[in-house]
Chains A and B, each alone.
Chain A
């Protein structure tokens, strides 16, 4: 992406963001009417002018089937993670062992890094401690590990999370580049 296009995107009006904020405004009022729509759009415009955000690069496409898979797996993981923490919390007389693991990701994009980090924080074995943006690396705290095998399993889980995310929303080129890097790291 050329710098001029980037600058224009920064200065230009971010319509999807404004529409998203308008929807939130309408939902907050709990009533859909002309006043809410126009008022929300005005507030969104002012907010985006006063607090401009760097443009988010998203050239991807949402693939319905992998996306459903991503969401379904996330819900399943959230439930398992909660059950795991509940079990540890209710097991008396034993302290859980933990680990801090390093997970080098394969995708090179702030957006996918952020999404993977967010998703990983809510699934088993995930409390984000540190992010290295340059190396696309996450450092996570994992609860309830007993062995090195558990550590590797937690790492593999985060990488699978990333793969599901990429398959669900990345563009064709990004997915191909991601797959090439993932292959390379396996070899």
Chain B
């Protein structure tokens, strides 16, 4: 198998897997019952899906400048996704939109453990 054929296949696999993850992240956003579970969907499969898509693109472009741009997108996604998820989650908890019936324990609410 030549290198270009290999990179085409690797690119296709990455793009498909990444798209699948992005799709399930979207399904999760619609289906999950409350904001916190939705944020889980918006952080984990979404981030990995984007990384896979970037990887798939990287197999196809060979220009070093473009690869640098892809690397920047990946790094900033990894840096900012947890921060934005934190800010949304924190605001949601404080405005008590949390569904207590879906929580096994809430150690943030318990004054003894606080």
A interface list, Cβ under 8 A from B: 24, 26-32, 78-79, 81-82, 84-86, 88-90, 95-102, 117-118, 121-122, 127-131, 139, 141, 143, 145-148, 151
Q: In the docked arrangement, what's the CA distance between A78 and B25, Å?
A: 14
**Cβ of B90 and Cβ of A130 under 8 Å apart?**
yes
Residue in chain A with minimal CB distance to B71 = A27
Which residues of chain B (68-114) have a CB below 8 Å from chain A?
Answer: 68-69, 71-72, 78-79, 81-83, 85-86, 89-90, 93, 102-109, 113-114
Contacts A96-B37, A128-B86; is A82 near B107 (CB within 8 Å)? no
**Cβ of B93 and Cβ of A129 under 8 Å apart?**
yes
Residue in chain A with minimal CB distance to B51 = A78
**Cβ of B41 and Cβ of A89 under 8 Å apart?**
yes
B interface list, Cβ under 8 A from A: 21, 24-25, 27-28, 31-33, 36-37, 39-41, 43-45, 47-49, 63, 65-66, 68-69, 71-72, 78-79, 81-83, 85-86, 89-90, 93, 102-109, 113-114
**Cβ of B36 and Cβ of A99 under 8 Å apart?**
no
**Cβ of A130 and Cβ of B93 under 8 Å apart?**
yes
Contacts A100-B106, A121-B86, A139-B107; is A127 near B78 (CB within 8 Å)? no
B46 to chain A, nearest CB (A): 9
What 12 additional pairs, Cβ within 8 angstroms, besides A97-B102, A100-B106? A28-B72, A30-B65, A82-B44, A85-B25, A85-B44, A86-B45, A89-B24, A97-B104, A99-B106, A118-B82, A129-B36, A141-B40
Interface centre among B32, B44, B45, B78 (most CB of A within 10 A): B44
Residue in chain B with minimal CB distance to A150 = B104
B39 to chain A, nearest CB (A): 5
**Cβ of B27 and Cβ of A128 under 8 Å apart?**
no
Contact of B72 among A24, A84, A122 (CB under 8 A): A24
Main secondary structure of the interface of B (DSSP, over half): helix
Contact of B48 among A29, A78, A129, A143 (CB under 8 A): A78
Which residues of A sit under 8 angstroms from B48, Cβ to Cβ?
A: 78-79, 81-82
Contact of B103 among A84, A100, A128, A146 (CB under 8 A): A100
Q: In the docked arrangement, what's the CA distance between A104 and B93, Å?
A: 19
Which residues of B sit under 8 angstroms from A151, Cβ to Cβ?
A: 104-105
B25 to chain A, nearest CB (A): 8
A149 to chain B, nearest CB (A): 11
Contacts A95-B33, A127-B39, A143-B37; is A30 near B66 (CB within 8 Å)? yes
Q: In the docked arrangement, what's the CA distance between A101 and B113, Å?
A: 10
**Cβ of B28 and Cβ of A100 under 8 Å apart?**
no
**Cβ of B24 and Cβ of A85 under 8 Å apart?**
yes
**Cβ of B24 and Cβ of A90 under 8 Å apart?**
yes
